[in-house]
A and B are shown apart, each in its own frame.
Chain A
Amino acid sequence: MTPALEVRGLRAGRVLVNDLSFTVGSGETLVLLGRSGSGKTTTLKLINRLLEPTAGEVHLAGERAADLPVTRLRRRIGYVIQEIGLFPHFTVERNVGLVPRLEGWPPARTAERVRELLDLVGLDPRQFSTRYPHQLSGGQRQRVGVARALAADPPLLLLDEPFGALDPITRVELQREFRTLEGRLGKGVVFVTHDVREGLLLGTRIGLMHEGRLAFLGTPDEFRSSDHPECQAFMSAA
């Protein structure tokens, strides 16, 4: 089966991101772990071409990303940015239904899809559809962000610290829910975090970024027992 995402020899700038290669299968979650400034966000932006790679290739579900029109590529990749970036002047319903709308779905189908997704992320559609982002708590906003990324049923999800700015309890709650969601969705997921515990909980594989390179790539168990100094630094911080 073609992987949801295949990255080969990806590079940006001279050292910003250097020689990244990995694949993410459907139903798999690759956690990108790394210190602040190690190139995690940059890597995600290279995948959906918010930044153009200086070398290397990205394949989305078997298609070369560079060959697709950039808007088409991005509509097939669910993306939750680090700051969430909900549209403040759109209701929850319009936020979540954005990509279907861009793709010209009939309104009834979009509305149905939005209800389904709000249910999926644990927000009652009757209560939340017509609210605006400023009328939501931080945790609810994160949920809307995830629902919005899932809207057009993309084969790949890029999540940039989606639970970053939450209190520890809400954070654990969302992590648990996401874990059960992962299995059901059957999508390729690239999940960026700098929280090792979160990474080990949610990742089927862990990629550790260090100064723009992938210093380690393996299963959570391999990560725990790795003698790579950067892995150990992270494990001792957990």
Chain B
Amino acid sequence: MNLVQFYAEHSGEVLGLIGQHLYLVAISTSVAIAVGLPVGIALTRRPRWRGPVLGLANVVQTIPSLALFGFLIPLPLIGGIGARTAVVALVLYGLLPIVRNTYTGITGVDPAVREAGRGMGMTDRQLLLMVDLPLALGVILAGVRIATVVNVGTATIAAAIGAGGLGVYIFRGVAMVNDALILAGALPAALMALAADGLLGLAERRLAWRPK
């Protein structure tokens, strides 16, 4: 059975899985940004927390994804079988690049420029919104891009805990020793990762200030 034929016969199911996959990635990346950006900013204001917070985020990153999904299942509220648990895991994975890049982006802003801003009478808030964030935007968006691309891949494993997505075909293909089925899931996932990488890369170049 070739791939084209397979997609033609299962178009409804394929589109459904792609939709689920996009949903998992979009929700988890949005939450990771909503949490990671303020945390990253807070770290630049409280450097003492930097070690522990980034360390913890690093440790989470090293937990194999299948194991993390497994650990989360028995937890109350966030656990269980299904998309919610998968989203929680993906958020955890997405946090590190976003927190770290927000922190590095802002601390990388030329100290002379920040000092000029403060010396001219900017409030902390104005300094953040007019200087820190615009100048760090490129680095922050690079973190978002990494988080998104990694999560497109990791989300395939969410199928193992019943969260759906393109991983459904991959797991089914592995169980049935059917390469075409594995490919049917892996190919759109790979294309999705490439597309996310391209689009966010474009956003990075369009939105971020850069010298020369």
CB of A50 within 8 A of chain B?
yes
Contact status of A102 and B209, CB under 8 A, knowing A85-B110, A85-B113: no
Alpha-carbon distance A12/B130, docked complex (angstroms) = 30
Known interface pairs A102-B126, A134-B211, A134-B212. Does A85 touch B116 (Cβ–Cβ under 8 Å)?
yes
Closest to B124 in A: A71
Asked if A71 contacts B121 (CB within 8 A), the reply is: yes
Instruction: Tally A-B pairs: CB < 8 A.
Output: 61
Of residues 84 through 137 on chain B, the ones whose CB sits less than 8 Å from some CB of chain A are: 110, 112-113, 115-123, 126, 130-131, 134-135
Q: Contacting chain B: which of A19-27, A76-84, A189-197, A229-237? A: A76-84
| B-side contacts of A86, CB under 8 Å | 113, 116
B211 touches A79 (CB 8 A): no
A75 to B118, CA, bound (A): 10
Question: What is the number of residues of chain B that contact chain A, defined by CB distance less than 8 Å?
Answer: 20
Complex Cα distance A74/B122, Å?
A: 8
- Which B residue sits closest to A85, measured CB to CB? B116
Q: List 17 A-B contacts (CB under 8 A).
A: A45-B119, A50-B115, A50-B118, A50-B119, A71-B123, A73-B121, A81-B116, A81-B119, A85-B113, A86-B116, A87-B116, A88-B209, A89-B135, A99-B120, A102-B120, A102-B121, A134-B212
- A residues with a Cβ closer than 8 A to B are 45, 48, 50, 70-75, 79, 81-89, 98-99, 102, 134, 148
Q: Given A50-B119, A85-B116, A89-B134, 14 more contacts at CB 8 Å?
A: A45-B119, A71-B121, A71-B123, A74-B118, A74-B121, A79-B120, A81-B119, A82-B112, A83-B112, A84-B112, A85-B110, A85-B117, A87-B117, A99-B121
